Structure 1
């Protein structure tokens, strides 16, 4: 599913115009990105948690040359699905 398909579904389910649904989706995405950038968690009970995770510096390998390289420490965005979401997906796969 791409963004325009998601907007169409949101508009239908929430009885919104596609323009309003797209505005709501953009606002949600921007709010999550801003919070994660500030190292805040966005917890949606039953759905999941968006957060930033610190990755330590490490040594890696260039796949083309095999040469060892140093990979700098960084913060990486992460999503952890909530129990309700996992249970929902699990119930669908057991039906199929």
Structure 2
């Protein structure tokens, strides 16, 4: 389970890491989160229009926001663990590098 969470964190860094994506030029992390939320709403509208029903908009919007919040939550947990040099994260990274 921890390996899956670590892979999810690495995937997050690949896509959402503010030092790698185009939003890195915005200094305020709250503004970055706001822009990501707006993008998720726009994608939800696009999927709802594609499927041809406004009913799917609510479902798609909720799914996108939940996914986005979970990515940020996962990132925050792992960032905090790396910042504090948590032992289980260090051991997991060493085991995965072998």
Larger radius of gyration between Structure 1 and Structure 2: 1
- Taking structure 1 as the reference length, what is the TM-score of the superposition? 0.31
Between Structure 1 and Structure 2, which shows a larger proportion of helix residues?
2
- Taking structure 2 as the reference length, what is the TM-score of the superposition? 0.31
Between Structure 1 and Structure 2, which shows a larger proportion of strand residues?
1
